[in-house]
Amino acid sequence: MRVSLQIGPQDAASTVLTAVAAAALLMGIAACTPSAGAADRAAAAGTTATASAGAHAPDTASATLDHSRILGDTTARVWFIMISDFQCPYCKQFHDESFAALRNDYVATGKVRMAYINFPLPIHQNAWPAAEAAMCAGAQGKFWPMHDVLFSAQEAWAEQHPAVHVIDSLATTIGVDTIALDRCVSQHVSKALIDADADRAERAGARSTPTVIIGSKVLVGVQPLANYRRELDSALAKAK
């Protein structure tokens, strides 16, 4: 498959995957794969799947959540799109091994914009609660700190039943108002955005996590940091 992403500098993350064709795949060894598709994700979320949200959502709250998971200068011409599941151990491996270096060397320097696309797999019972918590933390400007703490402490909450108390405890450590967070999560304010993310990720050809899209290249599974650097450098050279 080959994917073509026409992304403007002002686009919200939910619009990143709307223009889809085929893509060159670079396969990694380790990835989380679903046991079923969109219907099971919807069942895990407790409601019926929805395919429209994000930049087209009518309310300011959704727009705030949508933009909260984008990092980088709006003038950057290259996107690094992470399709991920907070409970996936291979997504944690990507986070622990590569994320900080890529953020520091490419995003903080203004070269690249980074977007997180939710793809909670039905095999992970706490993937949805974690995704909703991260997105709702975005309402307080804390998506990325929540993203980091969820991956860093994944073992602490991944197998909890329910996970909300551990997730709230982690949120407190990064300064999130957990009363507001729990209200947002209980009202499923971010659900339509997460549904739309998963739908568009599937349309882009994502079948497992982590999947990274850089320009026309799709990198499936955990890759060495050098692979991400190579594809980013190539995309940046083409964007000049």
Which tens digit of pLDDT belongs to each residue from 176-208?
999 999 999 999 999 999 999 999 888 888 889
What pLDDT is attached to residue 60? 78
More confident residue, 129 or 42: 129
The answer to whether residue 84 scores a pLDDT higher than 70 is yes
Domain 13-239: CATH superfamily is: Glutaredoxin (3.40.30.10)
Token pair recorded at residue 100:
């900080």
Band of pLDDT at residue 35, cut at 50, 70 and 90: low
Comparing CA positions, the residue from 67, 147, 158 lying closest to residue 121 is 158
Mean pLDDT of the chain: 83
Q: Which of 57-61, 67-71, 123-127 has the lowest mean pLDDT?
A: 57-61
Which pLDDT score, from 0 to 100, does residue 31 have?
Answer: 75
Q: Residue 51 above 90 pLDDT? A: no
Q: Is the pLDDT of residue 122 over 50?
A: yes
Position 48 pLDDT exceeds 50: no
Percent above pLDDT 70 for the chain:
78
- CA dist 141 → 29, 131, 144, 177 (Å): 34, 15, 8, 11
Task: Tell whether pTM > 0.85.
Answer: no
Going by pLDDT thresholds of 50, 70 and 90, the confidence category of residue 231 is: very high
Domain borders along the chain are: 13-239
